Chains A and B, each alone.
Chain A
Amino acid sequence: MDTVKKERDEYLAGWQRAKADLLNYKKETVEKTRVLKEMIKIEQVLECLPILDDLEMATSQLTAKQKKDSVIKGFLQISERFKKMLKAQGIEEVKTVGKKFDPALHEAIGEVKGEKSGVIIEEMQKGYIRDGVLIRAAKVKVGK
């Protein structure tokens, strides 16, 4: 009789546990799906960023005269659309030049001698942040 009782208790406990596990799992799944959606979004943005980097790089090479060319103006507008798209997703650029170097946001790829130590002198590649979470660190040169 005792064995049977013990078994019964064990089974009941197991059952309750299984049911609780399922309910908890369901709750977790909702949260996980949300996080996953966010992750996929950010992954996709990350895939696109190198293209924007190239556009930025191209823009930085333009002379004032070239910038007045109507075809180039069109290209610059495309670049702007890209940035707008990021902004609409809540993605912002990481602030760099003149700020104190912060490894939580910036990645140092070089130093500039004779400048103010620990302060960002030049931005080499833009960084991006969303809701306070870093998507990609900005590549910068730091004063030494």
Chain B
Amino acid sequence: MPKILGIDLGTTFSAMSVIEGGEAKIIENREGGRTTPSVAAISKSGEILVGVQARRQQITNPENTISVTKRLIGRRFSDEEVQKDAKLLPYEMRESKDGGIEIKMGEKWLKPAEVSAMVLRKLKQDAEDKLGEKIESAIITVPAYFDDSQRKATKVAGEIAGFDVKRVINEPTAAALAYGLDKKEDKKIVVYDFGGGTFDISVLDVSADTIEVKSTGGDTHLGGEDFDHKIVQWLIEQFKKDEGIDLSKDNLALQRLKEGAERAKVELSTSQETEINLPFITSTDSGPKHLYYKLSRASLEEMVSEFVDRSLEIVKQTLSEAKLSPSDVEEIILVGGQTRMPLIQSSVKEIFGKEANKSINPDEVVAMGAAIQGGILQGDVRDVLLLDVTPLSLGIETLGGVSTPLIQKNTTVPTSKSQIFSTAADNQTSVEVHVLQGERSMSGDNKSLGRFILDGIPPSPRGIPQVEVTFDIDASGILNVTAKDKASNKEQSIRIEGSTGISEQEVEKMKQDAKAHAADDKNKKDLIEVKNMAESLIYTSEKAIKDMGDKIAEDVKKEIEQKIEALRKVKDSDTIEEVKKGTEELSQALQKAGAAVNQQAQKEDKKPEDTDSSEQK
């Protein structure tokens, strides 16, 4: 089935997504970016450039580099907003015969939709390259406040780009789809969208088969860029105060300040303090000057509080227009990169008294929602194979009462896993396989599903026999556990029904238990591992003394024996550190002996070598 491309055609950036394996996935553009600047240009040589390349040449070609067409698309030239923007935009515009807008690009006059189409065409081509297949159809998102004319013009832009535009949907609706909130009937949802250049708020009403926009509000000239700008201004002021130099006249310095400011802003979303460190920011007759300032999260929040407050005012206003109080709102969704700022998240939480949905990347959520809408239109492929998962880990008990999982929880069934185990003592002829279910580290804390004994293992030193334990769960959740001795081919098995058939509450309780005891369990498990290691080392040491006793010097032998005794004493205490220390000491003594034996062996080896060479002569 041909894929439908979901496109978030943004004011400053656009993103695209498709459904793959039932899930929405962002597609990167040719340059490797997950978002594409919504900018198109015609270069002096007549070449059309779109995206990051158009932006890179903007400074040399401002009059032919067209950005923010989203503010113009489908509007009338005489619109107040258009007139306001026209004064700020570096390219030329005029009124078309039908009262619309025309933009001068190169020698031609184009409609905003034609310029948007250039961006959309690049997205189409890049998506086709990435996916290796033709893309014919698209879902394009628009702000909820777009009127009929703006929607139509957006659809036309898509068609000029070569798409069959299946739907033009609202951005907040797309965000709600991405979070799967379309299934929550009779719910009020607020989408708080703080993008790079615009702020939008929408109230949605979800009913059985529609998502209706109840009211919208926003500010088309309020965005994350204002935050960056504020930091840059602050840096310029500080530097002027400290050094008496105005950096705002220096292009390169300004560029570095902008990058530094954005980085600082991003870092302050996760840490409390950051530094803006720009050595050699400029130079004077007296030598180079460096810029270094610390910025705390609190100071940033103070700096930009006016912007956040403005957005919150708009939220309240929009809610009252929809005749809703914050408590009527069941879900809040955060969209736009700026919503990563902790201050925004906490302010929104304060207004509504609940956490917002923010688990999906806020720069990508709208495009993903558009892709999901595409998936809904195509209709889900009937899935005859409904596969279950094991809700809890399945494993066996190993030395010291440790629970060793073979099949991890959330593994899709049917599945089969096997692992080789061995014996713990010399001449052990049978092993007990104790099948366990649960997430705890110690077998006693997990649920026992059954046990059986495999015997007839030929007597051999510990660690030598190879017993393969296989767990196999079929599609209906029946677990078969088989243990097989590789040497004798003897095998034994158990069949456990309903290993996945524990009630949901029970599963939940076991998972909670595991979480609550995680640290404790880890300590216990670590202790047992350390003990096991100590025991194994004692065994090896004793064996070494027995096997090579005559080659080891008497004093070394004595030392080892002492260390063995010491380790044996602490082994059963419950302090990991002591057991570790004892193990370490014994291990060192053993190495010493090993080295001595090796040296001796080498010496002995050398002699015959010499005779060899003389023989050859």
Contacts and interface: CB of A to CB of B under 8 A. Distances in A.
Interface of A: 10-11, 14-15, 18, 39, 54, 57-58, 61, 101, 103-104, 106-111, 118, 124-125, 133-134, 137, 139, 142, 144
Nearest to B45: A118
A14 B384 contact: yes
Given A18-B385, A61-B288, A110-B252, A137 B280 contact: no
B60 A144 contact: yes
Interface of B: 31-32, 43-44, 49, 53-60, 251-252, 255, 278-280, 283, 287-288, 384-385
B54 A108 contact: no
Given A103-B43, A104-B53, A57 B58 contact: no
B86 to A, nearest CB: 24
Contact of A108 (B31, B60, B385): B60
Residue among A39, A139, A144 facing the most chain B CB atoms (10 A cut-off)? A139
Nearest to B57: A103
A61 B283 CA distance: 9
Q: Which 7 pairs show the lowest CB-CB distances between chains A and B?
A: A107-B56, A103-B53, A57-B280, A103-B57, A103-B56, A110-B251, A108-B59
Contact of A109 (B49, B251, B278, B385): B251
A58 B57 contact: no
Contact of A58 (B54, B55, B280): B280
Contacts of A54: 278-280
Contacts of B255: 109, 124, 139
Contacts of B385: 11, 14-15, 18
Contacts of B279: 54, 57-58
Contacts of A103: 43, 49, 53-54, 56-57
B57 A108 contact: yes
Nearest to A134: B31
B428 to A, nearest CB: 39
Contacts of A109: 59, 251-252, 255
Contacts of A108: 56-60
Contacts, number: 59
7 contacts: A57-B280, A58-B279, A61-B280, A103-B49, A110-B59, A111-B59, A133-B32
Nearest to A11: B384
Contacts of A39: 32
B280 A142 contact: no
Contacts of B43: 103
Contacts of B59: 108-111
Of B43, B54, B252, most buried by chain A (CB within 10 Å of CB) is B252
A29 B498 CA distance: 33
A118 B288 contact: no
Given A14-B384, A107-B57, 7 more contacts: A18-B385, A61-B280, A61-B283, A106-B56, A109-B252, A110-B59, A142-B60
Contacts of A110: 59, 251-252
B431 to A, nearest CB: 34
Nearest to A135: B32
A57 B252 CA distance: 12
Contacts of A18: 385
A57 B55 CA distance: 25
A144 B283 CA distance: 25
Contacts of B53: 103-104
Contacts of A106: 56
Contacts of B60: 101, 108, 111, 118, 142, 144
B612 to A, nearest CB: 45
A102 to B, nearest CB: 9
A66 to B, nearest CB: 11
Given A103-B49, A110-B252, A118-B44, A10 B57 contact: no
A109 B32 CA distance: 22
A58 B287 CA distance: 11
Contacts of A124: 252, 255
Contacts of A142: 60
A124 B251 CA distance: 10
A27 B147 CA distance: 47
B34 to A, nearest CB: 12
A137 B384 CA distance: 50
B103 to A, nearest CB: 20
Contacts of A101: 57, 60
B302 to A, nearest CB: 27
A64 B287 CA distance: 14
A104 B49 CA distance: 9
B569 to A, nearest CB: 49
Nearest to B254: A109
A109 B43 CA distance: 16
Nearest to B58: A108
A110 B252 CA distance: 8
B46 to A, nearest CB: 13
A45 B279 CA distance: 20
- Highest count of chain A CB atoms <10 Å: which of B43, B60, B385: B60
Contact of A139 (B44, B54, B55, B252): B252
Contacts of B32: 39, 133
A54 B291 CA distance: 12
A78 to B, nearest CB: 15
Contacts of A14: 384-385
A104 B31 CA distance: 9
A108 B41 CA distance: 14
Interface centre among A11, A18, A57, A133 (most CB of B within 10 A): A57
A121 B485 CA distance: 77
Contacts of B283: 61
Nearest to A54: B279
Contact of B56 (A11, A15, A57, A137): A137
A117 B280 CA distance: 29
A57 B279 CA distance: 8
A110 B278 CA distance: 20
A91 to B, nearest CB: 15
A144 B280 CA distance: 27
A111 B280 CA distance: 21
For B31, B49, B53, B58, which residue has the most chain A Cβ atoms within 10 angstroms? B53
A23 B520 CA distance: 41
